[in-house]
Structure 1
Amino acid sequence: MPLSRPLRAGQVGGGPGAFIGDVHRRAMRMDGLATLVAGVFSSDPDRSRAHAKTLGVERAYGSFEEMAEAESQREDGIEVVSIVTPNWLHAPAAMAFIERGISVVCDKPMTTTLEDAHALVEAVHRNGVTFALTHNYTGYPMVKQARALVEDGTLGEVRKVVAEYSQGWLSQPIEQEGMKQAVWRTDPKKAGAGALGDIGSHAENLAAYVTGLELDRICADVRTFVGGRAIDDDANVLLRYQGGAGGVLHCSQIAAGLENDLRLRVSGTKGTLTWRQEHPNELTFNPLEGTERVYRRGHDDLSAAAQHASRLPPGHPEAFNEAFANVYSNALRTIGARLSGEEPDPLDLDFPTVEDGAKGVHFILTALESGRQEGWVDASYVPSAGYRQGA
């Protein structure tokens, strides 16, 4: 990174007991590219300030509006902010910083409405900031290797995509017992969508990242299995891509006994790639002719992007935190380069952007609409007026 110091970073959300807040903080500091100096960690100003002290954060605020205004006026104000609030606050929080020229790393899904998503796309380009979305599974080296094999023609023409993300943690109505993460994730007003928004969006983004395919039409069976729940907890989606490829996406948070079972299989005219998140350091390629090949993280026969995303020698596992950090580090190096007036390294531009976020919101809402109609619907994405490739 051209800057001779870490970026000054802030965070909105991620208070006591927030799993994802800690993940973002670890990812932010893993490669020494940013230092957390400001934050608002709770809607309660006193709790926000108390949590800031436990983190050693210098400047604590009572609201993101206050933080965005104050930091934008300081000579030593933050240069990037991490947004880790519940979904419904992503858009207003991100917008408050974008409009003041501060870059953003935001948790997914980006927004709960397509109108908000398009507004963020336009604001990012109008203000010339960098926006990264933490679809962290794209940060795994072997996912990048899978993408490279599709791009270089090893797989041939893609014909079939199968993406699955299954969990079991919401098999019972734990939101009724006051479990904090379950309460807001099963509230349509705060989450927007259930399984489709929380994990289905990851599966769709992973498939799109690896294959480069754009959706054409989808047909979704969207279900709610747990009694009294007001949001989807399971979905099965048939996919038709532009150009003719087909696919299936399955996401479920009521698959009892399963933990974080994200899988992707891509079949082309020359073979099939298979990757599983719970065994992330391996990628299997089964060619049409010949024997199975297993690619392993850390070896020098991998693509430049896969090697760029690896930290340790072969045989030393890298997983969730490192993949998350890869999204952050690429984004932070990009921000640093732009602040220095330099062009970012092309390998550092490999992170989900604001446009990817808008496409994800479009997929979620289209799948919900297909479920309501119980049939095929148009899923092609129409960019907003402010769309420009590569935020």
Structure 2
Amino acid sequence: MNTWPVGMIGGAPGSFMGDVHRRALALTGRFSLVAGCLSRHAGTAQKAGQALGLDPARTYTDWTQMARVEAARPDGIALAIIVTPNDMHLPVAAAFLEAGIPVLCEKPLALTLDQARHFTERFITKGHDMVVAYTYSGYAMVREARRLVHDGTLGTIRNIQVEYLQDWLGDADSDGGWRLDPRTGGAGGCLGDIGTHAFHLAEFVSGLRCEVLSARVSRLVPRHAVPDDAQIQLRFSDNAVGSLWVSQVATGSGNALRLRLFGEKAGLEWNQEQPDTLIVSTADGRTTHIARGGSAVGTPSLLPRGHPEGYLEAFARLYADTAYLLDGHDAPLLPRLADGVRGQEFIEAALTSGTQYGAWVSVRA
């Protein structure tokens, strides 16, 4: 198998997402980090490159220069990984795509839906696409849940409940940095930061599209300039209904992402904090706990049953799929540019509904 050389933009050592991406890369054995523009500040970028053992000649202080130089090198990078603040996602991605270098980008895709749409029109027409890091679609048991729904284990889906709760912004003195600044993080706040994950998870597993929503969007900590909590009613295709609750001020919650689907035959539950298990329940009182790696599970695992797979392994599965894509194969479960645009459609619809006192708003397809 090929080992693909990659470069990273943003994500100097010590940044949460930069460190996560590098660990996930290492888990796959399919990538080698050889270049980077790890900070917009020249001194920090140079020190970060040195800390990661990068060649000084491939430690850049300007990402536009990095795109040009790497595209011209015979051993240039095969993938650009973008882990910058949200406002830089599209400008950086555009530079690398224009240079002919594939991109894997953190979410949300952009600051606004219009930005995302214009970007897509610009690059899709040229045959370019990119991977968007909706991490939770990489969990083995999330993919198994999708398979069970597709195979009809639950029957027709009637109700979809998803929530993503954190508490790290609940302290009145908490510092969310660029995420709480609408100029760098976007106007969506928690909707963009983690709500897009929950929304993507609901559609990814159910196979249904949310058509309209009604949102109550709040700033429960008054000093926050962007939403920190939202409760949203959802209506899906095929007459399914549901709700989504997202909060970064839910006291006592760590990374509490939970999905529940209820069909005519059975209900299903997956909890990110116990990610190796699916719970399937039926009306006759039977509850089945399905363990990752079991003989009846159709979705492959990275580790044997009993060896927990978590957040890093989910990221690694996205990277393994990306390597498969670079090898010239299809990777149908990998989140792509269209999924990034879909996240922006969700954010805009929720913000619009919130300003209209919960009016039902179309989630534009």
CA contact under 8 A between 2:191 and 2:246: conserved in structure 1?
A: yes
Distance 1:119 1:332 in 2: 27
The Cα of 1:5 is off from its aligned counterpart by 3.0
2:102 is aligned with 1:103: yes
Q: Secondary structure at the match of 1:145?
A: helix
CA contact under 8 A between 2:28 and 2:319: conserved in structure 1?
A: no
CA contact under 8 A between 2:139 and 2:310: conserved in structure 1?
A: yes
Distance 1:333 1:70 in 2: 25
Distance 1:240 1:280 in 2: 27
* 2:18 aligned to which of 12, 18, 21: 21
Q: Which amino acid aligns with 2:72?
A: Q
Query: Could you say which residue in structure 2 is the equivalent of 1:326?
Result: 317
Distance 2:136 2:59 in 1: 31
Report Cα offsets for 1:227-251 as digits up to 9, x if no partner. 2211100000000112210000000
Report Cα offsets for 1:134-155 as digits up to 9, x if no partner. 1111111110110001101111
Distance 2:123 2:172 in 1: 39
Distance 1:36 1:174 in 2: 37
Distance 1:365 1:145 in 2: 30
* 2:41 aligned to which of 33, 41, 44: 44
CA contact under 8 A between 1:102 and 1:129: conserved in structure 2?
A: no
Distance 2:332 2:123 in 1: 16
Query: Could you say which residue in structure 2 is the equivalent of 1:375?
Result: 358
CA contact under 8 A between 2:215 and 2:231: conserved in structure 1?
A: yes
Distance 2:24 2:13 in 1: 18
Query: Could you say which residue in structure 1 is the equivalent of 2:130?
Result: 131
The Cα of 1:16 is off from its aligned counterpart by 3.7
Q: Secondary structure at the match of 1:254?
A: coil
- The within-5 A match list for 1:1-391 is 4-58=1-55, 59-175=58-174, 179=175, 182-192=176-186, 193-289=188-284, 291-303=286-298, 306-307=299-300, 310-337=301-328, 344=329, 346=330, 348-382=331-365
The Cα of 1:124 is off from its aligned counterpart by 4.1
Structure 2 residue runs of 5 or longer lacking an equivalent are none
Higher RCO by CA contacts (8 Å cutoff, separation 6 or greater): 1
Distance 2:93 2:198 in 1: 24
Q: Secondary structure at the match of 1:189?
A: coil
The Cα of 1:129 is off from its aligned counterpart by 4.0
Q: Percent identity?
A: 40
CA contact under 8 A between 2:153 and 2:265: conserved in structure 1?
A: yes
Q: Secondary structure at the match of 1:243?
A: helix
Aligned CA distance change for structure 1 residues 94 and 174 (closer, same or farther; 3 Å): farther
The Cα of 1:121 is off from its aligned counterpart by 2.5
Aligned pair count reads 362
Report Cα offsets for 1:323-379 as digits up to 9, x if no partner. 011111101211122xxxxxx1x5x33211100000001101110111011123332
Distance 1:7 1:92 in 2: 24
Q: Which amino acid aligns with 1:19?
A: F
TM-score by length of 1: 0.90
Structure 1 residue runs of 5 or longer lacking an equivalent are 338-343, 383-391
The Cα of 1:101 is off from its aligned counterpart by 1.1
Runs of 4+ in 1 over 6 A off after TM superposition: none
Report Cα offsets for 1:112-145 as digits up to 9, x if no partner. 1112212332344344344111111111111011
Q: Which amino acid aligns with 1:210?
A: V
What do you get for the CA RMSD once the two structures are aligned?
1.4
The Cα of 1:57 is off from its aligned counterpart by 1.7
Distance 2:173 2:17 in 1: 19
TM-score by length of 2: 0.96
